Structure 1
Amino acid sequence: MTAATFELSNTLKDLFTEGKLSAVIGLGGSCNTSICCEAFRETLPLGFPKLMVSTMASGDVSSYICEADIVMMPSIVDISGMNNVLKTILNNASNAVVGMAKSYRPILMETKKPTIAISMFGVTTPCVEEAQALLQQYYEVLVFHSTGTGGKSLERLIEQGSLAGVLDVTTTELVDSLLGGILSAGPNRLEAAGKYGIPQVVSLGALDMCNFGPKYTVPQKYKDRHLHAHNSTVTLMRTNIEENERLGKWIAQKLSDAKGPTKLFIPLRGVSAMDIKDGPFFDEQAREALFSNARRAECEVVEIDAHINDKMFATAMAESLHQMIKNKNQD
């Protein structure tokens, strides 16, 4: 963090703590965009109005936004001297941020139910939808798409103390972190719940795949691997035995370090919609390499003779998390 970012962060933190801040807006090129966005991310909670007018906003802004909810508005022209185009953009920006400030309500404020999170991918959707339907009678359920940003947002909400529990069905982002895929949530994924003692029920959803863009973007070292064109913009690579061994060990270590109630659920018949008999990623040896190493976790390990998307598996995970949260609340 630069000195300028540090100073801005402290100012924002003081104003927010004192209730003197209703929204934030930043203007600038690459340097000021970096300073403002880092300060916004690190200081202000999800849901708080944040707007950045930037010359960088028409390109890849993922490094500025990360897991935050910053609204990026292109400045169109450089922010150097006033002109009719910039006047119009800034007028729109000021109206937008005032509107957000007037209607802002802190996240989770309006629900009387505790809030939990579930991680999902397209290939684990049936499991998540079944679990969500069961848990919604007790909780406000937030579903995070495991696309990197989703996992980061989930971990951030845990750190903010916003969640009563986590049903981490889909831990696939760890694959991309390990192998250089495009949907990594970073190496600290699957650690916040354990660090803060939040009840967590974890599974191995979609650990059979690593995500890349169109086929021509797959790194050269993976060109001869088992690749599957999910669509025109997404290419999936089947994880092999050695990679599954590493993933199993990594997950086992993360769960062993957890300070709160933790369970690992293993679906013996497959970890994704593609990991089924006659499916494109069916590989019993790779799956067993994952399972045998994940079993080393120093927490309760529940093995169910079912596929991850079977109703019985989803029900067992959901009921287990509900019971863990009830037990923790009674302590």
Structure 2
Amino acid sequence: MNRFVGIVGTADTKLEELLWLKSCLCRAGVDSMIIDTSTSIPVDDKQNEKVDISPLQIAGYHPEGADAVFCDERYKAISAMSIALTNFLHNSIDDIAGVIGIGGSGGTALVSPAMQSLPVGLPKIMVSTMASSNIAGYIGASDIAMLYSVTDFCGLNHISRSILSNAANMMAGSVNYMMPLVKTNKPSLGLTMFGVTTPCINQLITELNTGYDCLTFHATGNGGTSMEKLVSDGELIGVLDITLTEIADLLFDGVLGCPDTRLDVIAEKRIPWIGSAGALDMINFGAEETIPERYRKRTFVKHNEKVTLMRTTPEENYQLGVWIGNKLNNCNGPIRFILPEGGFSALDCPEQPFYLPAATRAFSDGLEKTVNQTEQRKIIKTPFHINSPQFCSLVKQHFEEIMPHQGIFNEAV
């Protein structure tokens, strides 16, 4: 059997749309199968005849059997069917060329977790009524492409036909011209960055790129999580976690916060890790009018029309030091936290709006009072700015020290 695209949705309410997607993929020369994730046992013969894989078949992949899916509570049924779908897709992974899902709030919540569990690089498209809202929870650390449906799913119309056709053609292009992931012969490193720490990361990549495949992650909420997923999957041999700004957003209501599980994977995997305070001088909000009232008298920098940056206070920096310190105490692998006392970002230096040495000292106090330093777990302070050559040189030095094979850095550069 040829590999197929899985078209996933609830055929009891969206059969027309699922059939249209299948016809569009057929016209594009792509084999597909409709995977029905309805959470009620089908009684409509037309539904049973038109789908390729029935909800009963999918529900059978739940660890507790189909009865766990076909229950009276909608929330539990959706969650259970999502688990069953995840297991089905993994069991069929060698036959699947891509997955395209459709749904409203319930359907998107059902399909997207299963998509998130699939390998990076396998085409995934979710056509959803929820794609115009905050989609971070639906995408997670995966490479799902979200497409806003514009109209709701309630039978076909001239708008939905066009959008679903576009989605099918996007999938066909992805399948027909897919470039498989080809690993280099260089070991991979993860680096976290933000615009205001880019000079630092660029310097490190220049030094590392000859011997390492440098994967950078934008610290915009899911960046660190995406990196840690690759750590969990064994894709990275080390991490230069220079930019931890997502933690500031997590603790102080910013819009780019990470999950509170940040750094847990580093502890679990004991991977060599160097961290720093990149962009902890700021919290991210949207447009100026979206800033909570309690913060209106703070110091701000307008990054663009959609992004406003707020300076963190000394008190907040102390809390950040404590929070990060407690996480580091769980890490028993080789870790170093390098603290740039000259400033945490391009905005945190003399004559820049976020320059506030008292905040830097407060962070240092919180971190040093919390971290139980050992031979494996150390804090290194430097008077230099995070974007300075001196800071990057220090990162390079400690990177070499904590890697499993001494001298690997010199061989790389």
TM-score normalised according to structure 2 size: 0.74
**Counterpart selection for 1:190 from 241, 245, 263:** 263
Aligned counterpart, 1:6:
83
State which drifts further: 215-224 or 293-302.
293-302
Match of 2:112 in 1: 37
In structure 1, the residue matched to 2:47 is none
SS state at 1:302 partner: strand
Q: Is the 8 A contact 2:400 2:406 kept in 1?
A: no
Cα 1:323/1:21, change in 2 over 3 Å: farther
Any idea what SS the aligned residue of 2:277 has?
coil
**Which residue number corresponds to residue 210 of structure 1?**
283
When Rg is computed on C-alpha atoms for both structures, the one with the higher figure is 2
Which letter maps to 1:9?
T
User: Partner amino acid for 1:25?
Assistant: I
How many angstroms apart in 2 are the aligned matches of 1:263 and 1:308? 15
User: Which letter maps to 2:304?
Assistant: N
Report the alpha carbon displacement of residue 63 of structure 1 after superposing the two structures with TM: 2.9
Instruction: Give the C-alpha shift of residue 329 in structure 1.
Output: 11
Matches within 5 A, 1:135-150: 135-150=208-223
Gaps of 5+ in 1: none
CA gap of 1:227–1:321, structure 2 versus 1, over 3 A, is: same
Does structure 2 conserve the Cα–Cα contact (< 8 Å) formed by 1:145 and 1:151?
A: yes
Matches for 1:274-313 after TM superposition, within 5 Å? 274-295=347-368, 296-297=370-371, 298=373, 299-313=377-391
Match among 76, 95, 99 for residue 24 of structure 1: 99
What whole-Å deviation, never above 9, does each CA across 1:243-284 have from its counterpart, x for those lacking one? Answer: 111111111111121132111101121111111122211111
Matched, 1:232 2:305: yes
1:73 paired with 2:151, answer: no
CA contact (8 A) 1:30 1:56 kept: yes
TM-fit CA distance, 1:105 = 4.8
* Paired amino acid for 1:32: G
Three-state SS of the structure 1 residue aligned to 2:217 is: strand
Instruction: List runs of 5+ in structure 2 lacking aligned partners.
Output: 1-77, 409-413
**Residue number in structure 2 paired with 1:321:** 399
User: Aligned match of 1:100 in 174, 194, 198?
Assistant: 174
CA contact (8 A) 1:167 1:318 kept: no
Q: CA deviation at 1:83?
A: 4.5
What is the root-mean-square deviation in Å for CA atoms of aligned residues? 2.1
Shift of 1:106: 5.0
- Cα separation, partners in 2 of 1:76 and 1:225, compared to 1, 3 Å: closer
1:212–1:55 CA distance, 2 compared to 1 (3 A): closer
SS at match of 1:236: strand
Is the aligned partner of 1:158 residue 2:235? no
Stretch of structure 1 that moved more, 200-209 or 214-223 = 214-223
> In 2, are the aligned partners of 1:134 and 1:315 still within 8 Å (CA)?
no
- The AA in structure 1 aligned to 2:126 is M
Tell me how far apart the structure 1 counterparts of residues 354 and 132 of structure 2 sit (CA, whole Å). Answer: 37
Per the alignment, residue 246 of structure 1 pairs with: 319
Matched residue SS, 2:278: coil
Give yes or no for contact 2:400–2:407 (8 Å, CA) kept in 1: no
* 1:268-323 per-position Cα deviation (integer Å, ceiling 9, x unaligned): 21111111122211111111010122224231221222111111111221342244
Instruction: Give the distance between the partners of 2:241 and 2:155, measured in 1 at CA.
Output: 50
Give the 5 Å matches for 1:101-120.
Answer: 101-105=175-179, 107=181, 109-120=182-193
Is structure 2 residue 133 aligned with structure 1 residue 55?
Answer: no
How many residues align structurally?
326
